Structure 1
């Protein structure tokens, strides 16, 4: 399921899809069994049935919906003949909602259906039903203690001031190296055999032959990576660059590129090249600005099926003599 792959980012969408599923199932049951209500009416009708005449504000607070949403639902219930508005006998300035005789009769017929709903949910979800209810209750308590909007905005502020660091390879970052590269390869192309080999064992295929790997770290998040592959004496390949798409625009790609070029100079290399694809326009522009020059043909003996761009780095004069 695609939404599941987005994790917490799609929490609201997944909950809405789940909610719509339950609403749809309840409506199908009500219609099949001839019940005279709709599933979305239930929270308001049941609250008024249990509590008695109440204001829109009281209902909204009790069922956890906005005043506007309850007011709009009330309009539908009034048109359906299930609810009426009246002045509160104890306070003529206050309007309350009252169930009609039709609503009382309709709700009184639902006992066997509600019993079947409880049993059917238990049968369908088994132990997950109780776990889901417990999880929902825990989420509701947590949200009361700290509203989620406040928490998200605080985290965003922290991200904006977090320093972007370039750090060298460490074994704990092996999975990040694979993840960041697999992300863009799977989106634009496919993971070729050579990619899978190198990404699965970067120590053997990049570090041991004399290469280097760098990562971009934003706070606690690893958001990008790039490697310098030692091909032969003095010859290096810039390869395996990937930046998490959700963190693009922060300059991580350029910082990683600069780190690899700096390492190339420190190692006294004389040739630095890269292979890419003509469809990756933003990346190619970044390479050109960094000093890579497009070659008239693809690299002889290229290892990549996707490669139709071959570029060689031409260091500025000051870099050559630094």
Structure 2
């Protein structure tokens, strides 16, 4: 499933999906058993059943919903004839919610259904599964009461936006990021070819062992980009597998990685550095050109990639001469 792969980012969506599932299941049971209530009404009705007439604010605080949400729900219950609004005898400025006679009558017939719901959930989830879920919910409720989720998110946002990009070399713990970041753009624009699958699945064998290098761009501990320097032959290298998380585009990760790869090429005393790409990747091609790569008149002979229709060689001096000539003209 897709949502689980998003982990924390989809927490609210996953909880809503589960919530909608249980609401729908209980509503179906209510309808089948002839009960004229809805599952979303349960918290308010049950609270009024157990505590008697009370204010919207008291109900909202007790069930953990906003005053507005409870007030809107109360309107529906009034329309259904289950709840009424009445003036507070001690404070005429506020109103109280109370069950009507119909509300009490209808709720008094729900005992068998509530037993069936409770037992059915146990059978469906299993006793251990249900206990784990209820414990997790209790812990989560306590945690969000102790510290605002919004405050925590904004504090982390401040940390991330103030952090500096860093480039780090390959280590086994980062292997999955090499696959993830490259698979993201390959699947979006092209497809993962067999040569990609081999290299991304085992970078230590296909990149590092033959004398290459892999770099990662990291921001506040988050790996947001990667690229590889492949050794084609002694002192001949290919810039390859450049991928940046699309949600971090515009932060300069691609340029930082490109600079790191070029610096490593020079450090090793390389004599030729080339890359293969595709003409559809306009932004990447501009970046390569600005870094000193020069477009060649034809594709590279013996190219490994079906998608490659661009061949560029790192020739910063030629690039500079061309720029100077353009300025003079």
- TM-score range with shorter-chain normalisation? over 0.9
Q: How does 1:89-100 map to 2 (within 5 A)?
A: 89-100=89-100
Paired with 2:255 and 2:178, the residues of 1 have a C-alpha distance of 17
2:115 is aligned with 1:115: yes
Match in the other structure for 1:191: 192
Asked if the contact 2:296–2:311 (Cα under 8 Å) also holds between the matched residues in 1, the reply is: yes
Match in the other structure for 2:213: 212
For residues 28-86 of structure 1, what are the alpha-carbon distances to aligned partners after superposition, in whole Å with 9 as ceiling and x for unaligned?
Answer: 11111110111111111111111111111111111111111111111111111111111
- Secondary structure, aligned partner of 1:54: coil
Match in the other structure for 1:75: 75
Match in the other structure for 2:146: 145
Paired with 1:109 and 1:9, the residues of 2 have a C-alpha distance of 42
Paired with 2:211 and 2:22, the residues of 1 have a C-alpha distance of 58
Match in the other structure for 1:301: 302
Match in the other structure for 1:30: 30
Match in the other structure for 1:244: 245
For residues 161-208 of structure 1, what are the alpha-carbon distances to aligned partners after superposition, in whole Å with 9 as ceiling and x for unaligned?
Answer: 122111222333233222322232233333222222222332333233
- Secondary structure, aligned partner of 2:93: strand
Q: Quote the offset at 1:268 in angstroms.
A: 2.7
Paired with 2:173 and 2:70, the residues of 1 have a C-alpha distance of 51
Paired with 1:319 and 1:136, the residues of 2 have a C-alpha distance of 62
Asked if the contact 2:293–2:319 (Cα under 8 Å) also holds between the matched residues in 1, the reply is: no
Q: Quote the offset at 1:25 in angstroms.
A: 0.9
Listed as ranges, the gaps of 5+ residues in structure 1 are none
Paired with 1:29 and 1:281, the residues of 2 have a C-alpha distance of 56
Paired with 1:304 and 1:34, the residues of 2 have a C-alpha distance of 64
For residues 267-307 of structure 1, what are the alpha-carbon distances to aligned partners after superposition, in whole Å with 9 as ceiling and x for unaligned?
Answer: 23232111112222222222222222222322111111222
Paired with 1:7 and 1:180, the residues of 2 have a C-alpha distance of 17
Paired with 2:206 and 2:8, the residues of 1 have a C-alpha distance of 35
Match in the other structure for 1:63: 63
With normalisation by structure 1, the TM-score equals 0.94
Paired with 2:41 and 2:210, the residues of 1 have a C-alpha distance of 68
Listed as ranges, the gaps of 5+ residues in structure 2 are 322-329
Query: Hey, which bits of structure 1, 4+ residues long, moved more than 3 A?
Result: 316-320
Match in the other structure for 1:254: 255
Q: Quote the offset at 1:227 in angstroms.
A: 1.1
Match in the other structure for 1:231: 232
With normalisation by structure 2, the TM-score equals 0.92
Q: Quote the offset at 1:19 in angstroms.
A: 0.8
For residues 92-120 of structure 1, what are the alpha-carbon distances to aligned partners after superposition, in whole Å with 9 as ceiling and x for unaligned?
Answer: 22211011001001100000000000011
Q: Quote the offset at 1:317 in angstroms.
A: 7.2
Q: After superposing the two structures, state which structure 1 stretch, 174-183 or 47-56, moved more.
A: 174-183
C-alpha distance 318-182 of structure 1, shift in aligned 2 (>3 A): closer
Match in the other structure for 1:9: 9
C-alpha distance 171-124 of structure 1, shift in aligned 2 (>3 A): closer
Paired with 2:245 and 2:173, the residues of 1 have a C-alpha distance of 18
